[in-house]
């Protein structure tokens, strides 16, 4: 059995205008993810109280192959190409495995 694969990404945006553009880009990307990626188990975008220019993405995939499929999708490639114009910084934490209570549908 394959091991779950995930990541947490912290995006810091340049300013409120960049945040609005980034949020619009994210919405477009989410539509593609939810309609075409069965191996993407969880893809959540969070805002942070008292940090209006921060977005946290939590992504969980069935396995590394599912993540690789996600990275090759046109909507993901578009997101990766366009996001830089909005960013002041990005931090990625890679995850593997995990214990606890999984989300249910």
Where do the structural domains in the chain lie, given as residue ranges?
5-93
Residue 72's Cβ-count burial label (10 Å; 0-12, 13-18, 19+) is exposed
- Residue 78 to residues 29, 31, 56, 84: CA-CA distances in angstroms? 8, 13, 19, 11
Options 3.30.70.100, 3.40.640.10, 3.20.190.10, 1.20.1300.10; which CATH number does 5-93 get? Answer: 3.30.70.100
Residue-by-residue pLDDT tens, the chain, 105 positions:
468 899 999 999 999 999 999 999 999 999 999 888 999 999 999 999 999 999 999 999 999 999 999 999 999 999 999 999 999 999 999 998 777 776 665
């Amino acid at each position: 059995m394959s091991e779950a694969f995930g990541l947490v990404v912290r995006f810091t945006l340049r300013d409120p205008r960049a945040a609005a553009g980034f949020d619009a880009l994210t919405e477009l990307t989410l539509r593609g993810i939810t309609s075409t990626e069965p191996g993407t188990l969880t893809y959540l975008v969070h805002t942070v109280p008292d940090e209006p220019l921060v977005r946290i993405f939590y992504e969980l995939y069935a396995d590394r192959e599912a993540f690789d499929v996600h990275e090759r999708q046109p909507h993901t490639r578009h997101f990766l190409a366009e996001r830089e114009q909005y960013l002041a910084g990005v931090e990625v934490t890679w995850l593997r495995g995990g214990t606890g209570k999984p989300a249910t549908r």
